[in-house]
Amino acid sequence: MRTPLIAGNWKMNTTVDEALELVRAMKDELEKIAEVEKVVCPPFVSLAPVKELLSGSAIKLGAQNLFFAEKGAYTGEISPLMVADLCEYVIIGHSERRQYFHETGDVVNKKIVAALQADIIPIMCIGESLEENEREKTKSVVSEQVRAALAGVKSVSGLVIAYEPVWAIGTGKSATGEQAGETIAFIRHNIADLYGEGTAREMRILYGGSVSSANAAEFMQQPEIDGALVGGASLKAGEFINIVSQASAIKSRK
Ligand code: PGA
């Protein structure tokens, strides 16, 4: 049914040389693992050289962000057309962008629309803060984020959602598989409400937040969880390979 997807979000790490070294260290092993889609998301400056290194490979490339305008006087920004030349995927609305760069639901929505228009698959990030979690607001927060991000979007075919509780990102404190599975099932219901059962059933929804080789199995065992968006652990070749191979073993058993 849904092909599992493991994406590595390298964030603001690796120079071009380091990025190439990291890809070289995992490429061959990743190629051997079947039935999982593998995506790496290095910083913008490494996209072109990494693409060259991955040519002919099944490993796909994602960007970590884009701006919504096609071109023009937006110093320092990268347009969907530029990303589309290099990448199949783009991470949009990551909580770090919402937090440090003040991306609102409206901005995230514009970026989603722009990515889809440019034929880039968005990995759309949503998730509640620690405070919202403690106040038991998780469901209303993710619902609202989904609605805001997808406002006016008619077709979400191919789009991927990453549920990343903010309190679990980079903290070493992950959600339990069960908690994440439950919230992801709820997100899928929201998609069903907006786009119908068929679309909801096909949509891949990932978990993200302190995923490592030590806890990957717990998430992959949840039928609602279709893979992971991995931060810190994606910077270590052995860790990333291990997570991808656990996803393949567990998901192909089902
Ligand atoms: P982490 O990051 O795995 O380092 O917690 C995940 C993410 O931010 O996508």
- The per-residue pLDDT for range 25-38, each reduced to its tens digit, is 999 999 999 999 99
Mutational pocket test of ligand 1: of 12, 39, 210, the residue with most ligand atoms within 8 Å of the beta carbon: 210
Residue 171 CA, distance from chain mean position: 18
Q: How many CB atoms lie within 10 A of CB 17?
A: 10
Q: How far is the CA of 123 from the centre of ligand 1 (A)?
A: 13
Q: How far is the CA of 60 from the centre of ligand 1 (A)?
A: 19
Alpha-carbon span 9 to 90, nearest angstrom: 10
Pair 170, 232: CB distance under 8 Å:
yes
Ligand 1 pocket, residue 224 CB under 6 Å: no
Q: Residue 254 has what pLDDT?
A: 61
Ligand 1 pocket, residue 230 CB under 6 Å: yes
Q: How far is the CA of 94 from the centre of ligand 1 (A)?
A: 10
Q: How far is the CA of 232 from the centre of ligand 1 (A)?
A: 6
Ligand 1 pocket, residue 170 CB under 6 Å: yes
Backbone torsions φ then ψ of 125, nearest 5 degrees: -95, 135
Ligand 1 pocket, residue 8 CB under 6 Å: no
Alpha-carbon span 209 to 212, nearest angstrom: 9
Q: Residue 253 has what pLDDT?
A: 83
Ligand 1 pocket, residue 211 CB under 6 Å: yes
- Record the tokens describing residue 102, joined without a space: 């003040």
Question: Which residue of the set 37, 96, 103, 164 is catalytic?
Answer: 164
Largest CA distance in the chain: 51
Low pLDDT (below 70) residues in the chain? 254
Pair 171, 210: CB distance under 8 Å:
yes
- Residue closest via CA to ligand 1's atom 2 equals 231
**Is there a catalytic annotation at residue 189?**
no
Pair 22, 14: CB distance under 8 Å:
yes
Q: How far is the CA of 72 from the centre of ligand 1 (A)?
A: 32
Q: Which amino acid is at 220?
A: M
**Is there a catalytic annotation at residue 94?**
yes
Q: Residue 190 has what pLDDT?
A: 98
- Residue closest via CA to ligand 1's atom 9 equals 231
Alpha-carbon span 21 to 134, nearest angstrom: 41
Distances in whole angstroms, Cα of residue 107 to Cα of each of 51, 92, 114: 28, 10, 11
Atom of ligand 1 nearest to the CA of 209: 5
Give the E-state strand segments of the chain in sequence order: 5-9, 37-41, 60-63, 89-92, 121-126, 160-163, 204-208, 227-230
Pair 184, 225: CB distance under 8 Å:
yes
End-to-end CA distance of the chain: 10
Angle at 87 between CA 92 and CA 151, to 5 degrees: 30
- Record the tokens describing residue 118, joined without a space: 């440019």
